[in-house]
Structure 1
């Protein structure tokens, strides 16, 4: 209602200012009469229009009303008409909204358990790592951690270690507890095997040394031991592997001894154990990847594609061997 009265008064005063130009008064009196009437008309028009504007166009003050006033006042005669012609059609005849052709939906939550996969995933665990790095919601990052419970340990441990630097206390504590559980389980197996070894009969000594070698190597393989601790557990794994081999164990233990020696940087011993494993009847697809790694470490790069081509066709088509073959051939 106020805006209508202000607009009516502005029209009346603006018409009076135009009429003052036809009264035949002296120039000074005519100019003062026109300017005062035009000033009051512009002020009332500015107030009327500013009250009708949507809330987002009324700010910032005083620049929004000052802009409207400037357009109306500093353009003689046509200023007020131009402001009315420009603003009122926009206020009462807004542009029609186009039909929305898409529908916004929320981002779905991660499952608390990883879905069962029928084949090896092409992108491995990068999706969960991206969630931990970029998801703003701590619940999403917790769900990503819980999804690692169904993953192999070798893939889950890097994700859990990444979560140890999370800004949320809940995420860090959950990651620490999951890592601690894995390490505690392995240490429990080691303690059990050591207890049995102290009372074992001669026939059981070899299998127990092989078991201890596997569990010690598991600590290093999963990345649960780092630095000097990793060197220690690899040393323990190598010692038990050698004792197991001396007690007559072979086959898988030969392959494990080769992998342990490779992890310790003892290339010569690793090569001997892998060749013995192959001669003992070990499947070629289990030995050839580590022989290719030895060829890389010793600089025999020409042997790498030859060894990879000896793998079964189905292995050559699966990651990571598919990309390795493309790189080396």
Structure 2
């Protein structure tokens, strides 16, 4: 209500200022009357507009009202009209707020459980390893270790071993306990199989020997055994796999025997086991990568490409064979 009286007064004083110029008065008197009336009109207009402005536009004082007064006072007629044309439409006809095209969000914490992993992975565990190497917060590094619980053991164990060198005690102890649990589970299964071996006979005994060979091989394959322990584990795996083959174990044991022989460095025996696996009915596509690995260990690099060319084109386009194909083919 006050603003309406202020605007009305501003209009009256503005009209009076122009009427002073039309009256037959001396130039000095007309100029003084015009400036006084126009100044009062600008003050009233400034006060009325300032009262209607949103709070964020009213301050800081005195610059906000001084800006409006300057526009009205120093630009006669057009200044007052410009102020009215700029302010009133904005106050009474505000622009409708547009819908946000995107929402700003903070960086989410590392999930407690990893995302579902496809069988044909395009990425590996480098992200979690980067967290362990570079995250300054120890709690984030602990969360990264928890995220490995749903990962395959072959992928999670290198991450846990990296965490054993962490400066924080909580991270090191958690990594050690998780590694110890995985090793303990395998050793528990070995003990159960050894107990079954004493009572087994015939084909069942061959299956138990094969099971023991696989669990010993698992300790070596996952990197849970090192040094002299690794040598002992591999020897145990070889003894049990040979016993399983002597008792007539299935065709898959030939492939396991070949992989154990490769790890022990007996490449000729490994190649012989792979040939026996092929005769027993193992798919050649499963054997070719191991044969290429044998050729690499022998230094026969020309034969590696020959082995890889026998793989189907579809396999050569998927990891991990895609990188091998780009290099060797």
Q: Using structure 1 for the length normalisation, give the TM-score.
A: 0.67
Gaps of at least 5 residues in structure 2 are 1-61, 64-101
Are 2:291 and 1:326 aligned? no
Structure 2 equivalent of residue 225 of structure 1: 225
Question: How far apart, CA to CA, are the structure 2 residues paired with 1:148 and 1:166?
Answer: 16
Could you say which structure has the larger radius of gyration? 2
Count residues in correspondence. 230
Question: How far apart, CA to CA, are the structure 1 residues paired with 2:149 and 2:314?
Answer: 28
Instruction: Give runs of aligned pairs for residues 164-179 of structure 1, distance below 5 A.
Output: 164-179=164-179
CA contact (8 A) 1:245 1:254 kept: yes
Question: How far apart, CA to CA, are the structure 2 residues paired with 1:108 and 1:136?
Answer: 16
Are 2:253 and 1:253 aligned? yes
Show CA shifts across 1:208-246 (max 9, x none): 100000000000000000111111100000000000000
| Shift, 1:127, TM fit | 0.7
Show CA shifts across 1:25-84 (max 9, x none): xxxxxxxxxxxxxxxxxxxxxxxxxxxxxxxxxxxxxxxxxxxxxxxxxxxxxxxxxxxx
Gaps of at least 5 residues in structure 1 are 1-91, 94-101
Moved over 6 A (4+): none
| Shift, 1:119, TM fit | 4.4
Question: How far apart, CA to CA, are the structure 2 residues paired with 1:268 and 1:119?
Answer: 32
SS at match of 2:301: coil
Are 2:282 and 1:282 aligned? yes
Show CA shifts across 1:121-174 (max 9, x none): 323111110000000111211111111111111111000000011111111111
Structure 1 equivalent of residue 210 of structure 2: 210
State the Cα RMSD in Å: 1.8
CA contact (8 A) 2:203 2:248 kept: no
| Shift, 1:103, TM fit | 9.3
Structure 1 equivalent of residue 240 of structure 2: 240
Moved more, 164-173 or 179-188: 164-173
CA contact (8 A) 2:203 2:249 kept: no
Question: How far apart, CA to CA, are the structure 2 residues paired with 1:206 and 1:103?
Answer: 62
| Shift, 1:196, TM fit | 0.4
